[in-house]
Amino acid sequence: MRVAVVTGASSGIGAALCRALAGQGWHVVGLSRRPAPEAAEHEECDVADRASVEAAAARVLERHPRVDLLVNNAGVGMREGFLSGDLDHVERVLRTNYLGSVWTLRAFMPALGRGARVVNVVSVAGTIAVGPYSASKHAQLGFSRSIAAELASQGVDVLTVNPGFVETPGFPQRSRFNFLMGRLVVDPPFVADRIVAAIESGRREIVVPRWYRPLIWIQALAPGLVARVLGRF
């Protein structure tokens, strides 16, 4: 039995991923603050709280001493900037989106043997500088790429996933845009299917959908131009 642990499993990409993995024969353990009906098992967990992560992991590892797939998917959104946003919210975004991945990986490391995989659901926002959410995802992106190098010697592969705009209950997107721009927004099952395909093919980093790649290239090649353009909006 292949065991997968998915954080943020109660809704959005996490719930869709639980369903997609189950369809491929995985036994899925969902970690989230709310129930995760798409998972075979569920543990209540707030990844922003290190003690909560460690306690949930201990309970899971009692039943499943080996985990074949760990998905760091839990995340919270924030549209405000550093100068206008609530500082408690800024801190929660950082704890959830970045430190939550660090704490979850460390807690489940004893169960990740050779051949296991770690998936970090980051964001295209992690490559473009736009406020605390982007900063937290940039940190998570750096973590994901760094841990890929650290885990290589142990035979554990890492997949970094950078989705673009995704319509989720916790971070709705389509209502922000007009009809044409709204077509750039995808739904969680689309992302989940791409993640499962990337796991099966052994990919190391993907952008979902692929048409967001030019935005990443522009930010890398002309950061000053991007800052000026974003500043106007």
Active centre residues (catalytic): 133
Other Cβ atoms within 10 Å of 196 Cβ, number:
18
| Beta-strand pair 205-208/3-7 | unpaired
Question: For the CA atoms of 192, 174, 171, 229, what is the dihedral angle to 10 degrees?
Answer: 110
End-to-end CA distance of the chain, in Å? 50
Q: Is 75 left (phi over 0), alpha (psi -120 to 50) or beta?
A: beta
- Rounded to whole angstroms, how far apart are CA atoms 22 and 172? 26
Nearest CA among 47, 159, 58 for reference residue 98? 47
Q: Are 22 and 38 in contact (CB under 8 A)?
A: yes
Under 8 Å between Cβ of 209 and 164: yes
Rounded Cα distance between 179 and 181, Å, is: 6
